[in-house]
């Protein structure tokens, strides 16, 4: 389980992020610290896997002060920012080592998958001001070993995780869906369905923010 430290932003918003994280199979909330300065000060002792920062925390502070603090923080954790981030600030954040810039309107499943990918060394940019871009490091498992049907099911698993729903969409039985999922688990070396969803996002088969029920062309 990857530990997430939440900081800054409205309390209700932070609590909503925390509930989504705790409901996932990949992440857990280590703590919530309302003030970014205090959160940064506690990083050496807490050492979370991800520090998730509300973008509101960056707006009032002069960049000359905030950016060096974030750069120093990367020695202790992986940094992600969620909120409305102006396009002109994205390159500066990436330059100091922020590897996640997330759209505040991202849905729950892509949110969890993006954080999981970030915690594993990937970079996710999903901001209203820029096109979604994902870079997985190390490279995600190759999907060419999957059949066409398995790739289709994998693409649908993120927005439609239930076997019964997938079966209805594809016109097959839930047992057939489960058989395909079990084969994908073996082929990709995945530990769970949640891990498969993370692979779907990390491979670029599905992008954070893709509307539910829509599959990408391949």
Average pLDDT per block of 10 residues along the chain, 218 residues long: 93 95 90 95 95 89 75 94 84 86 86 83 68 47 78 75 76 90 90 78 61 36
* pLDDT confidence of residue 3: 95
Domain boundaries 140-218, CATH class: mainly alpha
Structural domain spans, the chain: 2-135, 140-218
Out of 3.40.1350.10, 3.40.47.10, 3.30.465.10, 3.40.50.2300, select the CATH number for domain 2-135. Answer: 3.40.50.2300
* pLDDT confidence of residue 160: 63
Q: How far apart are the C-alpha atoms of 126 and 83, rounded to whole Å?
A: 10
* 216 token code pair: 């990408």
Number of Cβ within 10 Å of residue 170's Cβ equals: 16
Q: What is the 3 state secondary structure string of the chain? A: CEEEEEECCCHHHHHHHHHHHHHCCCEEEEEEECCHHHHHHHHHHHCCCEEEEEHHHCCCCCHHHHHHHHHHHCCCCEEEEECCCCHHHHHHHHHCCEEEEECCCCCHHHHHHHHHHHHCCCEEEECCCCCCEEECCCCCCCCCCCCHHHHHHHHHHCCCCCHHHHHHHHCCCHHHHHHHHHHHHHHHCCCCHHHHHHHHHHCCCCCCCCCCCCCCCC
Q: Is the distance from CB of 62 to CB of 15 less than 8 angstroms? A: no
pTM: 0.64
* pLDDT confidence of residue 158: 64
């Amino acid at each position: 389980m990857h530990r997430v430290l939440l900081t800054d932003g409205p309390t209700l918003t932070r609590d909503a992020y925390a509930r989504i994280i705790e409901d996932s199979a990949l992440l857990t909330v280590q703590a919530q610290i309302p003030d970014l300065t205090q959160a940064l000060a506690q990083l050496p002792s807490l050492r979370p896997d991800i520090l998730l920062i509300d973008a509101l925390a960056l707006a009032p502070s002069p960049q000359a002060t905030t950016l060096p603090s974030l750069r120093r923080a990367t020695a202790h954790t992986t940094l992600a920012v969620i909120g409305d981030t102006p396009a002109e600030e994205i390159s500066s954040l990436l330059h100091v080592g922020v590897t996640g810039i997330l759209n505040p309107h991202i849905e729950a499943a892509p949110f969890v998958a993006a954080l999981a990918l970030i915690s594993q060394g990937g970079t996710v940019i999903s901001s209203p001001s820029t096109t979604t871009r994902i870079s997985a490091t190390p490279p995600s498992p190759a999907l060419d070993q999957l059949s066409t049907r398995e790739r289709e099911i994998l693409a649908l698993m993120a927005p439609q995780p239930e076997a019964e729903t997938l079966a209805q969409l594809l016109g097959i039985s839930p047992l057939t869906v489960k058989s395909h999922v079990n084969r994908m688990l073996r082929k990709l070396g995945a530990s769970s369905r949640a891990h498969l969803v993370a692979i779907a996002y990390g491979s670029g088969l599905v992008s954070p923010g893709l509307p539910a029920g829509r599959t990408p062309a391949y």
